[in-house]
Amino acid sequence: MTDVKHMKWWGWGLEGVAFEHEDKPGFAPFILEQLALDLHSVEPSGMPSFDKVTVAKSLASPAFTKSLSDIVGISNVTDDKMERVVHAYGKSLRDLVRIRANQIERTPDLVVYPETEDEIQQIVDIAMAANAVIIPFGGGSNIGGSLEPLRTEKRVVISLDMGRMNKVLEIDSDAGLARIQAGALGPDLEDQLAAKGWTIGHFPDSFTHSTLGGWIATRSSGMQSDKYGDIADITRGLRLVRPGGTVVIRPIPSASNGPSVREMILGSEGRLGIVTEAWVQVHRVPAKRDVYAYFFPNFETGLKAMQEISESDAAPTITRVSDNMETRFSLATSKASHGITKFVSGTVLPAIFRSKGWNLDEICLSFIGYEGSERHAKLQKKLVDKIVKKYNGMGVGKGPGILYDQKKFDTPYIRDFLLDRGAAGDVSESAAPWSKLQKLHDGAVDAAHDAFKKIGAQGVIISHLSHSYHSGACLYFTFGFKFGKDALGDYDIVKSAIQQSFIDNGGSISHHHGVGLEHAPWLEDDISASGIAVMQGLFDSVDPKGNFNPGKIVAAPGLDQGNSGSALKKSAATKPTTTRATSSASKAAPRRTAGSTAKAKVNAAK
């Protein structure tokens, strides 16, 4: 068997690693207050039983399986139950709820682990000849429903796991470019680069469990994107295996050679073929890499400060500001003896806040990062500090920043912790012009609370701004609520409300999580019906029989899209209209309702 490691089949991250709250005295009170969930009395459901998971028989014939093992070797093709289950889903809340409920809609029939691009070309050509479906699989961290086969898929489905293709192949140190295989996980490639003094500078929340190929497939963005750019900027060249041949985009810093095929592949979620490797920008590991913490009196001033920083001569690498509720959550998840909790729960900082006339129910925590030479980092901080001061912000040093750096990849574990205890936690993010961010924020918060009311649950939604650009930024929302008997039904109502609020307030359906099945219903509102028609034209023309991850982003021809929670038919309509995609035109009721989704009973303690 292959030695490619995967996350828990039923949850985020590594076996044996879990979120704990005993050392975080603020956590249980926060959850009790916000979700009406008493962590001290609830009995966690724990890991579900794999024996109870049922998986349909693989559709792959022995002959077909053999044709694949002739290519990659017998140990790299499998229809093993665990392998098929691990590759059935990503790690969205929807995925976790379904897998805990033994509701696997359609597992891949085979999991194949290629080692070379040449093998992938052969696999693709054999799969096309057999009219099979191929879904590329990286770290499995996707939360948009991009990895699951359509429930109604009658053809053989191959999950093409890229995990063996994890090498940094080449570094062009003159150009600051590295050629890296698509299956390399964040730590894989960063370690290989660091060994030679380089960094890719791309650190998404999923970093530890996501791959370069996955980043490219979903247009990922990392925490230091203010400096290093999004993966769409970082990726200069790439190779995409398609039936009969490979698209080769050479690493060119900028080119005028027609519509960008590179930018068609970026975000394509496997629908155009298999990305095997990419030339990405790399940078010398900087002498300085610091994250400082600040407080603002409220979110509005925090947003304004971030905007002014983005317009200024300062060039920080991270700009992030939490709203008050996320600030409280951050304090609640800090260990008693560490960082800001110590500050804020002490006497000094609250006294200072009070002396400034700040309301503790409005204060906002911010992190700003600086990188480069010692001198450059210092200067940037000086420029930023001046702007922070103008907006009545206040620096509290590097301590909390170090803490932020250490736990930035751990948040997803909390979701499993909550799910074990009958509560849902998930995320939605959007981007919009600076002029619309406050409205986008307030709109999503209001929409979530209206939805909580609708499902009769107490819930919380927290948010931060991150990833600043000249004209706007990303707002990242995390929400949680104690669900009722129909976890997915409740979830759909909340998630739909938040997504719809993005559209209504001028935001994109996603800033860096992709479309998949999950966000597809709003794609038409985002890029217009005629925009969908253009995209659909591309997919239908390049993949006429829908062999490459069909149904994701927009509908594939002739396939029923009806997986749990996807009302994709509506959004994938290709009929162009002359309607302007204004917010007024899109104020219709949420498209995704509980009624359109399959019901799932969740194995959770009451």
Residues 469-508 interacting with its own copies (rule: CB under 8 A): 469-474, 506-508
Near its own copies in 506-535, by CB under 8 A: 506-515, 519, 523, 526-531, 533-535
Selecting among 89, 113, 476, 491, the annotated active-site residue is: 476
CB of 522 to its own copies, least distance (A): 9
CB of 104 to its own copies, least distance (A): 26
Task: Write the interaction track for its own copies spanning residues 269-298; mark x where CB under 8 A is met and - where it is not.
Answer: x--x--------x-xx--------------
> Which one of residues 36, 74, 248, 588 is an interface residue with its own copies (CB under 8 A)?
248
Near its own copies in 359-418, by CB under 8 A: 372-373, 375-376, 379
- CA dist 15 and 21 (Å) reads 18
Classified as helix, coil or strand, 161 is strand
Q: Is 175 in the site for its own copies (CB under 8 A)?
A: yes
Structure tokens, 457: 């649950």
Task: Write the interaction track for its own copies spanning residues 293-322; mark x where CB under 8 A is met and - where it is not.
Answer: --------------x---x-x-x-------
CB of 239 to its own copies, least distance (A): 9
- CA dist 38 and 21 (Å) reads 12
Q: Is 347 in the site for its own copies (CB under 8 A)?
A: no
> Which one of residues 434, 477, 481, 491 is an interface residue with its own copies (CB under 8 A)?
434
Q: Is 52 exposed, middle or buried (0-12, 13-18, 19+ CB in 10 A)?
A: exposed
470 vs 606, beta carbon nearer its own copies: 470
Task: Please list the helix, strand and coil fractions of the chain in percent, rounded to the nearest 5, in that order.
Answer: 40, 20, 45
CB of 144 to its own copies, least distance (A): 9
Near its own copies in 129-158, by CB under 8 A: none
CB of 110 to its own copies, least distance (A): 24
Q: Is 228 a catalytic residue?
A: no
- Sequence length of the chain is 606
Classified as helix, coil or strand, 490 is helix
Q: Is 230 in the site for its own copies (CB under 8 A)?
A: yes
34 vs 281, beta carbon nearer its own copies: 281
CB of 591 to its own copies, least distance (A): 16
Neighbours of 164 (CB within 10 A): 18
Q: Is 541 in the site for its own copies (CB under 8 A)?
A: yes
Q: Is 65 in the site for its own copies (CB under 8 A)?
A: no
DSSP state of 304: H
172 vs 361, beta carbon nearer its own copies: 172
250 vs 485, beta carbon nearer its own copies: 250
Q: Whose CA is closest to 55, among 7, 102, 1?
A: 102
- CA dist 7 and 47 (Å) reads 13
Residue 373 CB contacts under 8 Å (≥ 6 apart), including other chains: 286, 287, 288
- CA dist 353 and 357 (Å) reads 6
Structure tokens, 443: 């709109």
CB of 458 to its own copies, least distance (A): 31
Near its own copies in 102-121, by CB under 8 A: 121
Residues 90/143, Cβ–Cβ less than 8 Å: yes
Q: Is 124 in the site for its own copies (CB under 8 A)?
A: no
- CA dist 70 and 56 (Å) reads 25
Structure tokens, 303: 């947003």
At which residue do the structure tokens 């990833």 appear? 467
DSSP states of 402-428 as a string?
A: HHHHHHTTTHHHHHHHHHTTTEEEEEE
Largest CA-CA distance found in the chain, in angstroms, rounded: 77
Near its own copies in 578-597, by CB under 8 A: 578-581
> Which one of residues 51, 174, 357, 584 is an interface residue with its own copies (CB under 8 A)?
174
Q: Which residues are catalytic?
A: 476
